[in-house]
Chains A and B, each alone.
Chain A
Amino acid sequence: MSAFKILEYVAWGISLVLGLWMFIDMVKTNRAYSEEFLTSSKEGEIRDALVIDPPHQGGHL
C-alpha cells in the first residue's frame, strides 16, 4: 500500500471520527436539555444589558 493510499484512509478516518463526535454530542445535548431551552434564542435580545459569560457556559477567560 502506497503512502498516499494510507493518507486517504487517514482522511476517511478523521472524517468519520469528527462526524461521529458531532453526531453523538448533538444527541447528548438534545437529551440533556429541554427543547424549549435549546430553542429559546430570540432575535433582538442581543441589544439587552450584557453580563459576563461564565466559562462553563461557553465563555472564554
Chain B
Amino acid sequence: MSQTTAVHGEKISLLRVLGPGHIWALGVGIVLVGEYMGWNFAVGKGGALAALIACWFAGLLYTCVAMIDSEVTSTVAAAGGQYAQAKHIVGPVMAFNVGLYLVFAYTMLEAANAITLGYLVQTVGTMAGFEDVHDKPFIVLTIVFLAWLNYRGVYATLTFNLVLTAIAFVAVIILFAAVKPWSHELLKHGDLLTGLPYGMLGVLASLHFGLWYYLGIEGTCQAAEEVRSPARSLPMGTMTGIITLLLAATMTWYICAGLMPWEYLGQAVTPLFDAARLTESQPLMVLLFIGTCFSTMASANGCINDASRAWFSMGRDRYLPTWFGAVHPTNRTPFRSIMFLVPVAVVFAYFAPLDQVITFSILSGLLGYTYMSFNVIMFRTKWPLDSIKRGYVHPFHPIPAIVLLLLCSLTYFAVFLGYGTQLVAMMVFFAVASLWFHFHRYKFVRRGDQFTMDWPRPQGY
C-alpha cells in the first residue's frame, strides 16, 4: 500500500493517509460511548419519554451541526477544524475561543472516558472477589497508552478506532435483534412508559444529557490535513457518522426503555450492559461489556487526536507558543501538542468528579455549536455559492443555522437549571481568556500568514 504526503524540501507536514472510513471512525468513535452510558441521565431528569424527545431534539441539533460543518469544512480543510474555520470567516478572537472550546471539550471528554474505563476495570475486580481495588492505575494507563498510540502515527491510531467503533456498533445491533423488537416477549414498553413524571420542565431539563447521544461528531474535521481527499471524505464521513448515531441512539433508547423502569434507568452507570444482563444471555453480557470498554477507549482515542490537532493549529498560527506547532519528522504527528495534553487530561481524570468533567465538556461543545450557527451565515454572506467551490452544499440555508441557534439557546437554559454555577464560571473564563488574547497574545501573531485559503475578497470588503 502506498501513501502520499506533501514533502517540500526542508518543510514537513502531517501525513495524508486517511480515508472516509477513518473519518467515520473518528466521529462515531468519539460519540458512541454516549449510547453506552451517559444519555440515560436524561431519563432521570424527565422520564423515558422525555429522554426520547431529547434524543430527537439533540438529533435535529446535530443534524444541523453535521450539515453546516460538512459544507464549511469541505472548503476550509485544515487541521484545527472549527478553529481554522473561525479564523478565516469570523476573526481572530472568535478563532482563539473556538480553539479553546475544542481543546476543553475533547480533553474533558478524554478524562471522562478514562475515569469510566478505570471504573469498569475496578468493577470487574470487585466482582471477581478482590478487595481494595483501585481505578487510578487504569485511568492513567488509558490516557498514556492512547497518547502513545497517537504519538506514533495517525493511520494506526484511527485504524484502531475503526475496529473498536465497528465492534461497539455491531454489539448494539446484535442486542437490538436479541431483544426481539418485533415481539413483547422481552420488551415491555406498554408497562414501563409512564408518561412525563416531571412534565414539560422535565423534558427541558433532559435536553442537557440528550446531547450525550451525539456530542463530538463535529470532530471529524480535525483530520482535514491528514485525509487523502478532504472535500469528499470529510462530508461523507461526517454525514454517514450522524446517520449511524441517529440509528444507534434510537435503538439504544428502544432497548433500554423497554427493559428497565425509568427510576432505575435514569441513574444506571452502564445501561446497555444492564440491558444485556436482563436478557440473561451470557454471550450478550460479554459482548456488551466488550462494547462498553471499546466504545470508551475509542472515544478517548479520538479525543486525543482532535484536542492535539486543535492545540497544534493554534501553535502553528502563533495563537499559542509556536513550540506547539511542531510535527514529528518520522511519525508525522503533532507530537509536542500530544505530549503537552497528557498531564492536563491526567490531572482532570485523577482529581475532578465525573459529572463536573462531563458538564465542562458539554458546555464547551455547546459554545462551539452556537458559534457554528452564525459562522455559516457569515460564510454564505461573505462568500456566496458562486464565489468559491464547495465539496458539499447544505440544503435549506439559513434554516439549519437558525434552528441550531434556537436549539442551543434552549439547551443553555437546560444546563443552567442543573449546572448554573459551572455555566457562569465557564463564561467568565472564556471572557478573561479573550481579553488576554486580545491585549497580550495577538501581537505575536503574523497576521498575513494565518490566512491561507486562496479565496476571493469577501463581499462587502
Contacts and interface: CB of A to CB of B under 8 A. Distances in A.
Interface stretch (B11-19, B243-251, B415-423): B11-19
Nearest to A4: B130
B328 A29 contact: yes
Interface of A: 2-5, 7-9, 11-12, 14-15, 18-19, 21-23, 25-26, 29, 32-33, 35-46, 48-53, 56-61
A50 B5 contact: yes
Contacts of A11: 137-138, 140-141
Interface of B: 1-8, 10-17, 77-80, 84, 125, 128, 130-134, 137-138, 140-141, 144-145, 147-148, 151, 153, 155, 225, 230, 313, 316-317, 322-323, 325-332, 335-336, 338-339, 342, 450, 452-454
B78 A44 contact: yes
B144 A19 contact: yes
A43 B79 contact: yes
A18 B150 CA distance: 12
Given A2-B130, A29-B328, A43-B79, A53 B3 contact: yes
B434 to A, nearest CB: 22
Contacts of B153: 58
Contacts of B339: 22-23, 26
A43 B78 contact: yes
Given A12-B137, A39-B325, A26 B335 contact: yes
Given A15-B145, A59-B3, A60-B155, A45 B329 contact: no
A26 B340 CA distance: 11
A58 B145 contact: no
Contact of B452 (A15, A33, A44): A44
Nearest to A50: B4
Nearest to B135: A8
Contact of A18 (B77, B133, B148): B148
Contacts of B140: 11-12, 15
B148 A8 contact: no
A33 B335 CA distance: 14
B1 A43 contact: no
Contact of B12 (A26, A32, A40): A40
30 contacts: A3-B130, A4-B125, A4-B130, A9-B137, A11-B141, A12-B140, A14-B141, A15-B137, A15-B145, A18-B147, A18-B148, A22-B147, A22-B339, A35-B326, A37-B329, A38-B329, A40-B11, A41-B11, A41-B325, A41-B327, A43-B78, A43-B316, A43-B317, A45-B11, A46-B16, A53-B3, A57-B5, A58-B329, A58-B331, A60-B3
A34 to B, nearest CB: 9
A27 to B, nearest CB: 10
Given A49-B6, A60-B2, A61-B2, 9 more contacts: A8-B137, A18-B144, A29-B328, A29-B329, A40-B11, A44-B78, A44-B453, A59-B2, A59-B15
Nearest to A54: B7
Contacts of A7: 125
Sort A-B residue pairs by CB-CB distance and give the 4 closest, nearest first: A44-B452, A11-B137, A4-B130, A38-B326
A59 B144 CA distance: 24
Contacts of A46: 6, 13-14, 16, 77-78, 225, 230
A49 B11 CA distance: 14
A56 B331 CA distance: 10
A52 B339 CA distance: 28
B322 A39 contact: yes
Contacts of A37: 10-12, 329
Contacts of A3: 130
Nearest to B145: A18
A3 to B, nearest CB: 7
Nearest to A23: B339
A55 B267 CA distance: 51
A29 B8 contact: no
A59 to B, nearest CB: 5
A49 B4 CA distance: 10
A5 B153 CA distance: 32
B77 A58 contact: no
Given A40-B12, A48-B6, A57 B329 contact: yes
A56 B339 CA distance: 23
B155 A38 contact: no
Among A3, A23, A53, the one with the most B-chain Cβ atoms within 10 Å of its Cβ is A53
B144 A15 contact: yes
